[in-house]
Chain A
Amino acid sequence: MNDRPVITSAMARSYKHGFITPIPSDTIQPGLDEKVIQWLSAKKQEPDFMLEWRLAAYWHWLGMTEPSWSSVRYPPIDYQAIRYYSAPRSANPNAVALKDVDPALLATYEKLGIPLDERLTLAGVAVDAVFDSVSVATTHQKKLAEMGILFCSMSEAIRNHGALVRRYLGSVVPPGDNFFAALNAAVFSDGSFCYIPPGVRCPMELSTYFRINAAGTGQFERTLIIADEYSQVSYLEGCSAPQRDRHQLHAAVVELIALEGAEIRYSTVQNWYPGDAEGRGGIYNFVTKRGECRGDHSHISWTQVETGSAITWKYPSVILRGAGSSGRFHSVALTNHHQQADTGTKMIHIGADTRSTILSKGISAGHGHNAYRGLVKVLAGATGARNHSQCDSLLLGEHGSAHTYPYIEVKNRTAQVEHEATTSRIDEDQLFYCRQRGLSNEEAVSLIVNGFCQEVLSELPMEFSVEARKLLAVSLEGSVG
């Protein structure tokens, strides 16, 4: 039945974060070699062990080839044409108070809806604001420090908490893990660091907002979150970039470590510039995210809403090492126009009685391509392991595509693993019902899509959930017909 009325939406797809902040910045020449890494390390006043670590990763990266197994297609990336560092000239690495931060930067975040002034922010959220290659401000640090929580930029952590960084950095995602992780390890410029001491329940949501502003640069940030025994933390990540017709690379690494009884919730609303309706421009998002439930009865959950990026390539994973530990993955990935997403998760069950849940919702509109790629691996020692996966795909329009590649590898007989998936388009009956109740076609689709994603969106913290719903509606504009 192809008789759906065609809605020719007059509105072009609106990407409201597409503005550029005109601000002088320090940017190095394009290209990557050992000198760039040495310069970067020196610029950040890093201890020697970091430089060695970076160089080892770089040499390893030189011997690696770019992965081609995923279903995303893009022209080859010239890694020598990227600028590996760009920071606003006014960024003050030693800024302690907000008054030391350039007002132009503050205004940018204000415009993005992330006021950095602590009086204006939502009481429950501390923000680390990353602008191009550097962190420009971190809020509520003092209040958190009173409880022993360390929340700062990665650069600061390397300088001030070297022992912790040295112990945990790269312990979940080793520098040579994969092509993009190796590149990140060599050139990462900043990111967020967070340590929650034993028994502490973090009183507010911690968050990082990544903003790419300069042209021709790549953003390589690295986030490390350590939740010590019986602590709890909820972490949010947001991002956006200006509207440009050239692709920009974003290759981040996120490592989570949960010790005994600890709980980490990591939520992402990814809204990088997706490119225009013809597929020009947009961010290439190649991200390695992995958490390790190192201690018994620890818990890690990933929630992601992926609406941006020309290409999304990410598989937030959980290594369930501790006995009784559990992992969750909740994802909504929406691709419209010429966006491509190859995303999913890995749940590696090592410890006994480990549990994992996967819920993935993919929506393909326009020429969008969406693939779920997941691995559930139960090793021989994971007695009593349990997994349930569900991945549903919704197709809007006849040019989209939806693929599902679930890998299930089980080496323990007591494990129970279930996977189910469906692929279909919006039910005509549901559409008809909504329309006869007076909703326009576009509203009806939006309502149904929202319902389709409901289970995932309800996992997000409240403010993010509202934001995500708006994003889904915006991203679908012009695609219904």
Chain B
Amino acid sequence: MNAFLEGCQKQFSEQSAHLPGWNALPIRNSRQEAMQRGAQIGLPTPQLETWKYTPTRTLAQSRPRFHTEGCVGLDLEDLEPLLLDRREGHRLVFINGLLSRSLSRWQDLPAGVRVDSMANLARQAPSLLEPCLDRFLTGNDQGFAEINHALWLDGAFVQISPGVCLSKPLQLLFVTTAFQEPIVTLPWNLVLAGNDTQAMVIESYASLGRSSHFTNAYTTLMLNAGARLEHLLMLTETTAAQHVGTVQAIQQARSHLDSRIFSVGGALTRQDVQIMLAGEGSRCLQEGVFLAGGRQHMDFHTWLHHLRSDTRSEQLFKGILDGQAHGVFNGVVRVPQGVKQIRASQKTANLLLSDTAEIDAKPQLEIHSDAVQCNHGASVGTLDPDALFYLHSRGLDLETARRVLVHGFAAELLQRVQPAAVREWVAQRLNLEGSAP
């Protein structure tokens, strides 16, 4: 067993009584079972096919330090660029994994929307969480997720009552501050979108200071019949941080999910997205763009499970790699036997900007039914020399021409982000201002 897992087990045995929801039997059971499974399967290693390219060794050998105290004296000015809308926006702000009520703002949310910290909810209304506990993903590659299930300390809870439409985006901001020793944060977020609801949730991760830390996040999205949810994940932690996260979405009939990922952060960033199209007529759009430079490693694994007939998915994932960065994209579309009228399209395009960057792309189709129309495409290349030359000949210096082309490559995905205020904020966080008109 490695140092990381040992540390987690130690924390679990010593601190379990302080974990949120420990007094509620189902939550306690869920935590205990997760810890057992986690200890059994261990942390994923490159021997596992789904972790083949992810270097988890240094992480596994580090001893985790958990942070359980309240937040430090930060005020809104410190968070300025990380906030979508400082004055009017609805947000839950978590500092070092724990909710900061003073920095959060949800007073004027419309009726029928309940937001809370998971820690609070687990103590006061644990029955709300119970139905979600047995929906967690299992498998021998879920080591990090199991640790999250066992040890989660806080996170955002969002419940939207049937028929309610959230007109403004809701931001969930997770900030980790500098510590002498790197700390581990383990948020579990839960979004319950009731029947025929509409909402946009922006989940963003950032760091203050340049220190290293490890985020192990798990987000559950439950879309009831007819719900429309836009989920935007922003990964902008420092290039010294490590991030492992999972987004699990379960979609009921006629629900629509737009899942978008924008990533620039982390020394190691590994994000899994598991979308279950579990109701007839459900649709999902999965998009992402990542920009990696220096020695960053960015790793994205998506699974789209078409569990019911008449479900559709569309996916486009782009990677831009510079320096000695290593990018990975692995997308799986799975169609089990017996389901019909499936349409799935999956595309990944990757840009290599330096001689030392590396990309490993693996789009994957697993089809067990004949009533399908599925396709996928993958491409890897560099900037078109003709396009560069053209821009150069129009008077742009090479550096600017290069930037214009890179921005153009990312713009396809940025442009689809609505409303404009969110789009501009995303572009600014990604350092891609001006690329989305």
Chain A interface (Cβ within 8 Å of chain B)?
1-2, 69, 378, 380, 393, 395-425
- Interface stretch, picked from B86-94, B150-158, B369-377, is B369-377
Does any Cβ of A come within 8 Å of B338's Cβ? Answer: yes
Kindly provide the distance from the CB of B324 to the nearest chain A CB, expressed in whole angstroms: 10
B370 engages A397 (CB within 8 Å): yes
Query: Given the complex of chains A and B, what is the CA–CA distance between A424 and B340 in angstroms?
Result: 11
What residues on A are CB-neighbors of B353 within 8 Å? Answer: 413
Q: Evaluate whether A413 and B352 lie within 8 angstroms (CB atoms) in the complex, with A404-B364, A418-B379 already known.
A: yes
Does any Cβ of A come within 8 Å of B357's Cβ? Answer: yes
Q: Evaluate whether A408 and B371 lie within 8 angstroms (CB atoms) in the complex, with A413-B355, A413-B382, A417-B379 already known.
A: no
Does any Cβ of A come within 8 Å of B358's Cβ? Answer: yes
Query: Given the complex of chains A and B, what is the CA–CA distance between A424 and B344 in angstroms?
Result: 11
Query: Given the complex of chains A and B, what is the CA–CA distance between A396 and B371 in angstroms?
Result: 10
What residues on B are CB-neighbors of A419 within 8 Å? Answer: 361, 363, 376-379
A420 engages B375 (CB within 8 Å): yes
B380 engages A408 (CB within 8 Å): yes
Cβ-neighbour of B376 out of A2, A415, A420 (below 8 A): A420
What residues on B are CB-neighbors of A403 within 8 Å? Answer: 364-367
A409 engages B378 (CB within 8 Å): no
What residues on A are CB-neighbors of B75 within 8 Å? Answer: none
A423 engages B352 (CB within 8 Å): no
What residues on B are CB-neighbors of A404 within 8 Å? Answer: 363-366, 376
Does any Cβ of A come within 8 Å of B360's Cβ? Answer: yes
Q: How many A-B residue pairs have CB under 8 A?
A: 120
Closest residue to A369 on the B side, CB-wise?
B368
A406 engages B372 (CB within 8 Å): no
Kindly provide the distance from the CB of A275 to the nearest chain B CB, expressed in whole angstroms: 20
A415 engages B337 (CB within 8 Å): no
B370 engages A407 (CB within 8 Å): no
B378 engages A406 (CB within 8 Å): yes
**Residue among A399, A407, A423, A425 with max Cβ neighbours from chain B (10 Å):** A423
A421 engages B381 (CB within 8 Å): no
Closest residue to B351 on the A side, CB-wise?
A413
Kindly provide the distance from the CB of A423 to the nearest chain B CB, expressed in whole angstroms: 4
Kindly provide the distance from the CB of A254 to the nearest chain B CB, expressed in whole angstroms: 27
Closest 5 CB pairs of A and B: A395-B370, A413-B352, A419-B378, A417-B380, A422-B375
Cβ-neighbour of B367 out of A395, A397, A415 (below 8 A): A395
Query: Given the complex of chains A and B, what is the CA–CA distance between A396 and B377 in angstroms?
Result: 23
Cβ-neighbour of B377 out of A397, A400, A420 (below 8 A): A420
What residues on A are CB-neighbors of B380 within 8 Å? Answer: 378, 408, 410, 415-418
Q: Evaluate whether A398 and B375 lie within 8 angstroms (CB atoms) in the complex, with A380-B356, A406-B363, A415-B380 already known.
A: no
What are 5 A-B contacts defined by CB distance under 8 Å?
A378-B380, A399-B337, A419-B376, A420-B377, A421-B375
Closest residue to A404 on the B side, CB-wise?
B365
Cβ-neighbour of A408 out of B354, B356, B359 (below 8 A): B359
Closest residue to B385 on the A side, CB-wise?
A414
What residues on B are CB-neighbors of A398 within 8 Å? Answer: 337-338, 369-371
A423 engages B374 (CB within 8 Å): yes
A410 engages B372 (CB within 8 Å): no
Cβ-neighbour of B362 out of A2, A396, A405 (below 8 A): A405
Does any Cβ of A come within 8 Å of B49's Cβ? Answer: yes
Query: Given the complex of chains A and B, what is the CA–CA distance between A403 and B371 in angstroms?
Result: 15
Kindly provide the distance from the CB of A388 to the nearest chain B CB, expressed in whole angstroms: 10
Query: Given the complex of chains A and B, what is the CA–CA distance between A397 and B366 in angstroms?
Result: 16
Query: For chain B residues 365-412, which have a beta carbon within 8 Å of chain A?
Result: 365-382
Interface of B, helix, strand, loop or mixed by DSSP? strand
A421 engages B376 (CB within 8 Å): yes
What residues on B are CB-neighbors of A414 within 8 Å? Answer: 382
Contacts A404-B364, A406-B378, A418-B379 known; 20 new A-B pairs at CB < 8 A: A2-B340, A393-B367, A402-B367, A403-B366, A404-B366, A406-B362, A407-B362, A408-B360, A408-B361, A409-B359, A410-B358, A410-B361, A413-B354, A414-B382, A419-B363, A421-B363, A422-B374, A423-B373, A424-B374, A425-B370
Q: Evaluate whether A396 and B370 lie within 8 angstroms (CB atoms) in the complex, with A421-B377, A423-B375 already known.
A: yes
**Residue among B353, B357, B367, B372 with max Cβ neighbours from chain A (10 Å):** B367
Query: Given the complex of chains A and B, what is the CA–CA distance between A96 and B266 in angstroms?
Result: 70
Query: Given the complex of chains A and B, what is the CA–CA distance between A350 and B37 in angstroms?
Result: 43
Kindly provide the distance from the CB of A380 to the nearest chain B CB, expressed in whole angstroms: 7
Chain B 265-291, CB-CB to A under 8 Å as 1, else 0, gives 000000000000000000000000000
B365 engages A423 (CB within 8 Å): yes
What residues on B are CB-neighbors of A406 within 8 Å? Answer: 362-364, 378
Chain B 320-345, CB-CB to A under 8 Å as 1, else 0, gives 00000000000000000110100000
Query: For chain B residues 137-178, which have a beta carbon within 8 Å of chain A?
Result: none
What residues on A are CB-neighbors of B357 within 8 Å? Answer: 411, 413
What residues on A are CB-neighbors of B370 within 8 Å? Answer: 395-398, 400, 425
Closest residue to A409 on the B side, CB-wise?
B360
Query: Given the complex of chains A and B, what is the CA–CA distance between A270 and B377 in angstroms?
Result: 29
Query: Given the complex of chains A and B, what is the CA–CA distance between A179 and B360 in angstroms?
Result: 26
A412 engages B366 (CB within 8 Å): no
Closest residue to B339 on the A side, CB-wise?
A398
What residues on A are CB-neighbors of B369 within 8 Å? Answer: 395, 398
What residues on B are CB-neighbors of A2 within 8 Å? Answer: 340, 371
Kindly provide the distance from the CB of B409 to the nearest chain A CB, expressed in whole angstroms: 14
What residues on B are CB-neighbors of A421 within 8 Å? Answer: 363, 365, 375-377
Closest residue to B375 on the A side, CB-wise?
A422
Q: Evaluate whether A411 and B358 lie within 8 angstroms (CB atoms) in the complex, with A416-B380, A421-B377 already known.
A: yes
What residues on B are CB-neighbors of A400 within 8 Å? Answer: 368, 370
Chain B 88-105, CB-CB to A under 8 Å as 1, else 0, gives 000000000000000000
Query: Given the complex of chains A and B, what is the CA–CA distance between A414 and B356 in angstroms?
Result: 11
**Residue among B338, B354, B377, B380 with max Cβ neighbours from chain A (10 Å):** B380
Q: Evaluate whether A425 and B372 lie within 8 angstroms (CB atoms) in the complex, with A398-B337, A416-B380, A417-B381 already known.
A: yes
What residues on A are CB-neighbors of B378 within 8 Å? Answer: 406, 408, 417-420
Kindly provide the distance from the CB of B382 to the nearest chain A CB, expressed in whole angstroms: 4
Query: Given the complex of chains A and B, what is the CA–CA distance between A400 and B371 in angstroms?
Result: 11
Closest residue to A378 on the B side, CB-wise?
B380
Query: Given the complex of chains A and B, what is the CA–CA distance between A414 and B382 in angstroms?
Result: 6
What residues on B are CB-neighbors of A411 within 8 Å? Answer: 356-358
B358 engages A423 (CB within 8 Å): no
Cβ-neighbour of A412 out of B49, B352, B364, B365 (below 8 A): B352
Kindly provide the distance from the CB of A149 to the nearest chain B CB, expressed in whole angstroms: 41
Q: Evaluate whether A415 and B381 lie within 8 angstroms (CB atoms) in the complex, with A423-B372, A424-B373 already known.
A: yes
**Residue among A1, A408, A409, A411 with max Cβ neighbours from chain B (10 Å):** A408
What residues on B are CB-neighbors of A425 within 8 Å? Answer: 370-372
What residues on A are CB-neighbors of B352 within 8 Å? Answer: 410, 412-413, 415
Query: Given the complex of chains A and B, what is the CA–CA distance between A399 and B368 in angstroms?
Result: 7
What residues on B are CB-neighbors of A395 within 8 Å? Answer: 367, 369-370, 372
Cβ-neighbour of A401 out of B354, B360, B361, B368 (below 8 A): B368
What residues on A are CB-neighbors of B337 within 8 Å? Answer: 398-399, 401
**Residue among B359, B366, B370, B379 with max Cβ neighbours from chain A (10 Å):** B370
Query: Given the complex of chains A and B, what is the CA–CA distance between A97 and B370 in angstroms?
Result: 54
Closest residue to B358 on the A side, CB-wise?
A411
A408 engages B375 (CB within 8 Å): no
Kindly provide the distance from the CB of B309 to the nearest chain A CB, expressed in whole angstroms: 12
Query: Given the complex of chains A and B, what is the CA–CA distance between A410 and B348 in angstroms?
Result: 14
Kindly provide the distance from the CB of A278 to the nearest chain B CB, expressed in whole angstroms: 19
**Residue among A378, A395, A404 with max Cβ neighbours from chain B (10 Å):** A404
Closest residue to A426 on the B side, CB-wise?
B370
Kindly provide the distance from the CB of B194 to the nearest chain A CB, expressed in whole angstroms: 35
Closest residue to A400 on the B side, CB-wise?
B370
What residues on A are CB-neighbors of B382 within 8 Å? Answer: 413-416
Kindly provide the distance from the CB of B368 to the nearest chain A CB, expressed in whole angstroms: 4
What residues on B are CB-neighbors of A417 within 8 Å? Answer: 378-381
